[in-house]
A and B are shown apart, each in its own frame.
Chain A
Amino acid sequence: MAGMRRETIHAYLLLLPAIVLLVAFTHWPAIATLIDSLYATPHGSRPAPFVGADNYLALMDDPVFWQALRNNAWYAVATIPASIILALLMALAVNEALPGRAVLRMAYFLPTMLPMIAVANIWMFFYTPDYGLFDRIIAVFGGGRHNWLGDASTALPAMIAVAVWKEAGFFMIFYLAALQTMPADLREAAALEGSSRWNYFRRVTLPLLMPTSLFVMVNAVINAFRVIDHIVVMTRGGPDNATTLLLYYVYEAGFRFWDTAAAATATVVLLAIMALAAAFQFGVLGRRVHYR
């Protein structure tokens, strides 16, 4: 009995530093955000008054918030499937004995190793009117000058392209890992039966990759709401808030307008979205994770 108590004390001592830091910078701020969203922004040394749902009502009345939500929805709807499908194609390609396979795998994966801010700088150059790569390619086909980042209709797609380019190679790795653990005799059996490659892919490969797809999808959803480095550098949410994503809205509210109440309230929305993604992973993914 005394021995067991000692083990408990040891366990708590071992856990203490990690748990304290985790709670202090993840759990506590999440709860504090929720509390702050019910109070007005404090001014000077006066304590902030309790305002109940007022911040939420104000948020509902803010057209920029709705636009951020809409932008983020489009951004997610475009980047997630595009990067996942490309990742799968890349993995299938480099899983074959193609000439130059190692170089290809490196080419696909390299953007993952670059900081998003470096990627943003490079792509900003691409999007430059007249001189940028895009305008030069279009000029070859007789097109004219286009201000990709300055035009509200092309700015968000331009951000989506950057995100897909950066992310697809990262997701490829997980598909590649799954493909490499796939039993070879399945393929031989299918070949004996004369099943076409497309059929084999649709009936065997794709279902076996399902857990990987779900894992990648959850990560893609989180990233679509978490990564705004390129927005900060390339467009600052503009033009006319055309590229303002949810976290960018929070960032502006918190650090440009110093309106902590608005920032907290929008963060709660962001947290709710992430909680949904988490519930999805634990609910749908559940015990179906097959790795190793």
Chain B
Amino acid sequence: MMVADHTPIGRFLETLGAWLLGLIWMLPLLYAAWTAFHPAIYATHFAPLAPLTLANITSAWQAAPFTRYLLNTVMLVTLILAAQFVLCTLAAFAFARLTFPGRDLLFAVVLLQLMVMPDVLLVENYRTLVHLHLADTILAIALPYLGSAFGIFLLRQTFLTIPQPLDDAARLEGCGLLARLWRVYVPLAKPTYIAYGLVSVSYHWNNFLWPLVITNSVTTRPLTVGLAVFATTDQGIDWSIVTAATLMTSAPLLVAFLLFQRQFVQSFMRAGIR
């Protein structure tokens, strides 16, 4: 595909290849959408004029407490995002603009988390949260992710690029440390907050294994775990309903992505640049 020079035929083959790959990549989602919006008999056979239906969606929605799961997920991602913003901002500012003994060592300690993520430490973290009598709470799902090395790193890099004279000017006007942080640094780092926020929300909206381990009831389960419980225990092999539930749980994020595609893609890019 790349061997071809810029001849019309080479170009055509290139476009064809790209689209073929794109079709393969879209196929699973198109198939899922087809199954979710058609009666069950069409799930396994394709007929262009098959009647559309919303019945699968409504029966999936009624078959399990998805409204509650959705609420849990929204509470979870909001809690995580709010706490991460505050904690990472404070820490990033200290690392970027204050001098104190042990700064480099502490920063290295923080960065370790980029490699060893809490996801692989689930057995010990489960034990800690049971000791704290927090198991099966939304706070317990959130806690291991609140101190985020990734967020601290990202914000520190941004704060470092903010001109020192701006900070000095605010200081001369009598602003204290937190006032300078709030009035100078936070507003100028807005794109980084958006980028980090989108990455964090998509990560925690989709996170599965840790919530699966630490939750055990309808009032705490996020959508992902609720979907897994629903798909494995309640449904057997009614694919139309399982697929409808699957699309339903992913829909909010997918719709947000389709609406703000540019911001999402740029945020992921920005977040990956480190």
Residue ranges of A at the interface with B (Cβ–Cβ < 8 Å): 4, 7-8, 10-12, 14-15, 17-30, 32-33, 36, 86, 89-90, 92-94, 96, 98-100, 103-119, 121-123, 125-126, 128, 131, 133, 136, 165, 169-170, 173-174, 176-177, 196-198, 201, 215, 222, 225-226, 228-229, 232-233, 247, 250-251, 254-255, 260, 263-264, 267, 270-271, 274-275, 277-278, 281, 289, 291-292
Query: Chain B nearest CB: distance from A223 CB in Å?
Result: 10
Residue ranges of B at the interface with A (Cβ–Cβ < 8 Å): 1-6, 14-15, 17-19, 21-23, 25-29, 31-32, 35, 43-44, 87-88, 90-91, 93-95, 98-101, 103, 106, 109-110, 112-113, 115-128, 143-149, 152, 177, 202, 205-209, 212-213, 223-224, 227-228, 231-232, 237, 239, 242-243, 246-247, 249-250, 253-254, 257-258, 261, 264-265, 268-269, 272-274
Please name the residue on chain A nearest to B269 by beta carbon. A177
Q: Check B128–A113 contact: CB distance below 8 A.
A: no
Q: Check A100–B19 contact: CB distance below 8 A.
A: yes
Q: In whole angstroms, what is the CA distance A215 to B114 when docked?
A: 12
Among B128, B232, B268, the residue within 8 A (CB) of A29 is B128
Q: A250 — which chain B residues lie within 8 A by C-beta?
A: 120, 122-123
Q: Check B106–A15 contact: CB distance below 8 A.
A: yes
Q: Check A18–B208 contact: CB distance below 8 A.
A: no
Please name the residue on chain B nearest to A270 by beta carbon. B120
Among B6, B25, B94, the residue within 8 A (CB) of A11 is B94
Please name the residue on chain B nearest to A216 by beta carbon. B272
Q: Check A7–B98 contact: CB distance below 8 A.
A: yes
Among A113, A121, A131, A173, the residue within 8 A (CB) of B253 is A113
Q: Check B208–A116 contact: CB distance below 8 A.
A: yes
Q: A131 — which chain B residues lie within 8 A by C-beta?
A: 43-44, 239
Q: Check B265–A20 contact: CB distance below 8 A.
A: no
Q: B206 — which chain A residues lie within 8 A by C-beta?
A: 114-117
Among B14, B26, B95, B149, the residue within 8 A (CB) of A110 is B26
Please name the residue on chain A nearest to B257 by beta carbon. A113
The 3 closest A-B pairs by CB, nearest first: A21-B147, A29-B124, A115-B206
CB-defined A-B contacts under 8 Å, sample of 15 = A8-B101, A14-B90, A15-B91, A18-B91, A29-B121, A90-B21, A113-B202, A115-B205, A117-B227, A121-B243, A196-B5, A197-B4, A197-B5, A254-B123, A291-B273
Q: B212 — which chain A residues lie within 8 A by C-beta?
A: 232
Q: Check A25–B177 contact: CB distance below 8 A.
A: no
Query: Chain B nearest CB: distance from A67 CB in Å?
Result: 19
